[in-house]
Structure 1
Amino acid sequence: MRDAPAKTALVTGVRGQDGSYLAELLLAHGYRVVGTSRRGGGDGRDWRIAHLLSRLDVVPLDLGDPAAVQEVVARVAPDEVYHLAAASRVDTSWERPMEALSANAGSTVNLMEAVRRVAPAARMVVASSCEIFGRPERWPQAEDTPVRPASPYGVSKAAAFWLASNYRESHALHVASAILYNHESPRRGPAFVTRKISRAAARIAAGVDRTLTLGNLEGRRDWGFAGDYAEAMWRMLQQERPRDLVIGTGVSHSVREYCEHAFALVGLDYREHVVADASLFRPVDTTSLVADARLARELLGWRPRVAFPALVEMMVTADLERVRSGADV
């Protein structure tokens, strides 16, 4: 009896944090994995997937080019499509709102159109964001929470969310949105607050730096581990019926708590090193976003494995090693 042929997965944004964890998971499940990146590979930005490059294909793709997107989808012939590529910074979306809208909503349309035309049997998940809920009137938030984005980034993700819903209902596309709450890891980019903190704790402990300047220390987030959320997205595409699902831990912590935990791990008191600067506050800060992921747990059998203290320790430990080795990425 022959083994079933390996599934093929197309992963946009494969060189990002989420893409790297998802590629690992898919390869472990025996998939053929093709990842896309705006710049392709080999330009020094492959550090998250360097250990995977011998087992996956990375192709350059401008998701803003509909013809190029369709050509890649036709050539790859995916069974599953994971759309992770995005303009992912809430703060910079205030400065470049059209860039966020094009990168997040425009790319989603181009990819769904390509799937609809040349790979209509493929299953697709779109990485959405809790930022679509903006400043909700109730918490925790579930799938039926009103979509009321409070930033250009949130608007762009909300547009992609509704577009996915439209293609599912109008074109019978097997597409679902994973409404992801904040998810972090040692592979997080240094511009994000969690990596700013873990990296600063390591550098200050090593005597490289002395202070860290942040914005609102009272801002609260539902932080989970990116690897757990990659697994949730994979599980979503194993379902026969596409469903939009909230993915999060259900527990929120403040930026101040993150600082306290991170600096304590290196034997320091964050209050002696962290400075809050009001000029860095967001114009509108979504301070009450926390997930009600009961439906995901019920339908997918999924639950987060890495708790907040372990996540902080994981990130600080990785940054300590980077500082010691000189590989400070």
Structure 2
Amino acid sequence: MNPALGPGQLAALRQAAEWLCQLNSGDARQSDHHAWQQWHDASPDNAWAWQQAERLQGRMTGQALPVARRVLDVSAEHRRASRRRVIKAGMVLLGGTALSLGGYQQRTTLPWLADYRSGVGEQLKLNLGNGTTVRLNTDTALDVSDTPTGTRLKLRQGEIMVQVPLGQQCQAQTTHGRVDTQACRFSLRVLETSTRLNVHQQQARVTLPSGQSLVASQQQRCEFDRERFSPLLALPAGSDAWDQGLIIANGLRLDQLLAELSRYRPGWLHCGPDVAGLRVSGTFRLDDTEQALRAITSALPVRVQARTRYWVTVVRA
């Protein structure tokens, strides 16, 4: 059995899927292909992910042409195809790659097999039968099941906000551990190598695969992986603002704010190293990241440099 894919490989596969969709969209320009080449050459993981796509496509079609070449052909022949169909094809392609390479553990966490999914920039609210409510943040995949003792959630990727009513129990699982709560409001976010728990009301117990456990109380945060916990910290102000569709920044570094905004839009959004440490304060709507960028450029000595609509850099003005 092959080992599970690493975080870098998984991220590269997701990015390769996005590039495949973008180049197949029917309106790709030469600058898009140039940007794709830069992404491809930027890291060994990126080149590996694209190579896996080529190999899988070759096995599926019996052709030896590179994917990049076929992408251009498809774009010319099917410019009226819907973007949704293209996205689905890209995810199936790279989903098959991950299934063939990742082993059992990876197969059980693939996001496209989840009961519920939210897209990039989308939020989804679930009202469960026992009164528990769950909000899926952007790009989130979640399984939901009922047990004799309450609700069981399996967060495959992304972030959720959970409100458990009085008299009910909830168990939330990620690849890093299990969270058990009663009558609690909490959020859970899967990061690259760990999970973050924010407890907004009452308390929650985290248990690692080894059996180690820790209780986080109201207004506390902790991160954990499969082996250890981080120290408990106080929740920063506005940590649950995303539940209302907002980001509240209070002297936040520009690179950190852009990293959060990038979760709500397709493609890549980053800034130059010379402006990364500039501080930003304000309230920004998650459903209008373009307006957020305009607000940032009006408050700081920076400007937006858009190579394509999917490749945006904030640089010094």
Q: Which has the larger Rg?
A: 2
The TM-score, its normalising length taken from structure 2, stands at 0.29
Greater length-normalized contact order (CA 8 Å, ≥ 6 residues apart): 1
Higher helix content, 1 or 2: 1
Higher strand content, 1 or 2: 2
